[in-house]
Amino acid sequence: MEKPVGLNAAPPILRPSTTKRTRRLEMIFGRDWKIATFFIMPLVIIMAGLILWPFINAILLSLTTRSVVTRTEQYVGLKNYANLLHDSDFLSAVGNTLVFTLASLAVKFVVGMGIALLLNSKLLFRNVLTGLMLLPWIVPEVVTALTWRSIYDPIFGGLNPILLQLGIIHRPVAWLAEPGLAMASVIAVNVWKGIPFYTILLLAGLKAIEREQHEAAEVDGASVVQRFRHITLPGLRYVIIVTVLLSFISTFNTFGLVYLMTGGGPGGATRLFSILAYEKAIIGLRFGPGAATAFAMAPIMAVIIFILARVMNPDQSVQIAKPKNIFNRLSGWIGHGFSLVLDVIFWPAEQLSKLFERISKAVIPVDKAGRSRLSRTQRERVGLGTRMVLLLPMLIFVLFPFYWIFITSFKTDLQIQRFTSIYWPQPWTFDQYQSLINNTPFLIWFRNTVIVAVSSTAISVLVAALAAYALARLKFTGGRLLTTLLLVSYLLPGSLLFIPLYRILTDLHIINSYAALIATYPTFLIPFATWVMLGYFRSIPVELEEAALIDGANRLTAFWRITLPLAAPALLSVTLFAFTNAWNEFLFAFVFITSDNLKTLPVGLQLLVFGDIYPWGRLMAASLLMAIPVVCVYIYAQRYLVEGITAGSVKG
């Protein structure tokens, strides 16, 4: 007769074979492989199904072409790539992309560094000024494009009147219609949009440099330029590398900003390779040549991603300073070459610095020992005034588009058309807002954006939190590889994935639906969110969880009740980041949604344009209403958002 199994029954005895099997599995898959499977499986499914498979599918697709007769894809090998070598449109697009990228990076780095240096010094209302300087980053891309297109407008825009009054130009200029000016114009907008990214990361790096080093160098007689060259720049080496490479990837793969402003025109003057790939694949339905166009730039991306993966991977960061392999030796040679270039660049700056010091001594009264007769308070006031004067032009450059959006949205159509009251509405009116709400599907687009942004954000944050905890705390085979693949996925540009994703969503019959966006948005939200959460989880003492485990809690309970509450700042940060990016996303929504009733705000706003007629008042009203939710979120939790970005991109 079998004994009943109850609460007081003896625990089952493990057989030796079961124990050996368990140990063998732990040796192969790691100590925590069972619980780790639960935590990382959602991430693995999303990465494999929506990132890895589309990536492989795109490679295979680039080796095919569509038959006109059978309307099926036929394998042609490398023919699509070979044709690109003789494609004048492709060669021109590559040249445009390189010019756009390199010029934007150079200007953003110089301006961003200057602003970061000023914000890192003593300033009046420094926190407020820092928040204002970061505003362009959170503005939706479509709002940025429409606003600057309005400013550039040769008839109704605000740039020509300013330059005419200053005597810089003598006739109105069609900034986006002249091939020689269009590229410079879109570069300026990209600089405006990208300055906050450089400012955030460089400012975080500057705060990490000990002030005592500068004070000691100043005592030794080093000039401002010499201190910057030999103390600040070396201290920012890691931050500069990460910032420039991340910016290179995003700038090189820019699509929405340029497409919304110029469509690649005039005459292909601003057609980037991402725009050309879209024209071939989506408009021309030539998926193979379109995918080949996108993947032709993949080798450049692979090199940048490889370097970033080595620099940002915490397991590799210690090895970077020790030249043990070809990569590190090559990095050392590049570093020495870069130092020589900096010496050449800063030599004139050092001479100008010495000249400025001589002029200062001639203007400012000094005693017999050569010391300034100004008191310390007076010197601080002079320095403060100088820094505020230097920051003022950048502040005007950053804030003018917001001012232009605001005043234009409160003008009547007659004021805009007659070009009266350029800088101030007379009279103020809500006509544009009433027309927008009553005569357009704006509220429907707003609803669609809320549904997609909230849903994709919830999915992304949940998956990211689970995966980050497993990568930070659990021991299982493949953890380091998954961490590296996570970073690669974060850096993988959307221009490589939208073509295969379009075909996959079509095959699944969810194209042109909410599901198409909710399923694909996590592909660019989850990697970054996981990376940020991973760094934060590692900073939480593991002893807290061990104490909970000793008290009888399991891993899931320890995660939910101990670790996750302590990681609330990072959780809020990634939630804000995911929401703002989902709210602002343009490329996927533009390609995957064709029904007007399902369009999101970034895509819907362009439907307000009729041919060459731009209802600027209505467009600016829509832009302001679209930006308000993101700006409110940003104002509410600015500190957490900035902290999250720096945690994910600066900390190694």
Q: What pLDDT does residue 13 have?
A: 47
Query: pLDDT by residue (tens digit) across 585-598?
Result: 888 998 899 898 99
135 vs 109, 229, 331, 402, 524, CA distance in Å? 18, 29, 35, 9, 22
> Of 417, 428, 461, which is closest to residue 582 (Cα–Cα)?
461
Q: What pLDDT does residue 375 have?
A: 62
pLDDT bracket for residue 323 (50, 70, 90): very low
Q: Which tokens belong to 69?
A: 């007769």
Q: What pLDDT does residue 117 have?
A: 86
In this structure, the number of other CB atoms found within 10 A of the CB of residue 73 comes to 16
Q: Can you tell me whether residue 191 is helix, strand or coil?
A: helix
Q: Is the pTM of the predicted complex or chain greater than 0.85?
A: no
Q: What pLDDT does residue 450 have?
A: 94
Asked whether residue 498 carries a pLDDT value surpassing 80, the answer given is: yes
Asked whether residue 572 carries a pLDDT value surpassing 70, the answer given is: yes
- Of 270 and 360, more confident: 270
Q: C-alpha angle with apex 273: 509 to 87, nearest 5 degrees? A: 105
Asked whether residue 3 carries a pLDDT value surpassing 50, the answer given is: no
Q: What is the mean pLDDT of residues 365-394?
A: 70
Q: What is the dihedral of CA 178, 179, 181, 186, to 10 degrees?
A: 110
Asked whether residue 248 carries a pLDDT value surpassing 70, the answer given is: yes
Q: What is the mean pLDDT of residues 504-511?
A: 89
C-alpha 532/C-alpha 645 separation (Å) is 8
Q: What is the mean pLDDT of residues 301-328?
A: 59
Among 173-182, 211-220, 465-474, whose mean pLDDT is lowest?
A: 211-220
Query: pLDDT by residue (tens digit) across 78-131?
Result: 999 999 999 999 999 999 999 999 999 989 988 898 888 888 888 888 878 887
C-alpha 275/C-alpha 296 separation (Å) is 14
Among 305-309, 430-434, 556-560, 578-582, whose mean pLDDT is lowest?
A: 305-309
- Of 3 and 290, more confident: 290
Q: Which helix (H) or strand (E) holds 282?
A: none
For 390-408, letters b (16+ CB in 10 Å) and e give ebeebeeebebbbebbebb
Q: What pLDDT does residue 356 have?
A: 57
- Return the top range by mean pLDDT from 15-29, 305-319, 585-599: 585-599
Among 157-171, 225-239, 359-373, 566-580, whose mean pLDDT is lowest?
A: 359-373
Q: Can you tell me whether residue 270 is helix, strand or coil?
A: coil
Q: At what angle do helices 498-507 and 53-61 cross, to 10 degrees?
A: 100
Cβ-based neighbours of 181, under 8 Å, separated by 6 or more: 173, 174, 175
Q: What is the mean pLDDT of residues 274-283?
A: 87
Among 103-112, 268-277, 478-487, whose mean pLDDT is lowest?
A: 478-487
pLDDT bracket for residue 560 (50, 70, 90): confident
In this structure, the number of other CB atoms found within 10 A of the CB of residue 423 comes to 10
Long-range pairs for 21-28: beta carbons < 8 A, 24 or more residues apart? 28/477
- Of 108 and 3, more confident: 108
pLDDT bracket for residue 329 (50, 70, 90): low
Q: What is the mean pLDDT of residues 357-378?
A: 58
> Of 141, 159, 139, which is closest to residue 150 (Cα–Cα)?
159
Percent over 70 (pLDDT), the chain:
80
Ordered structural domains, the chain, with CATH: 33-321+364-649 (1.10.3720.10)
Q: At what angle do helices 616-636 and 376-409 cross, to 10 degrees?
A: 130
Average pLDDT of the chain? 80
Write a three-state SS string for 441-468: CHHHHHHHHHHHHHHHHHHHHHHHHHHH
Q: Which tokens belong to 581?
A: 């990016």
Asked whether residue 501 carries a pLDDT value surpassing 70, the answer given is: yes
Asked whether residue 182 carries a pLDDT value surpassing 90, the answer given is: yes
Q: What pLDDT does residue 650 have?
A: 45
Q: What is the mean pLDDT of residues 616-643?
A: 78
Q: Which tokens belong to 570?
A: 């990072």
Q: What pLDDT does residue 644 have?
A: 54
Q: What pLDDT does residue 462 have?
A: 93
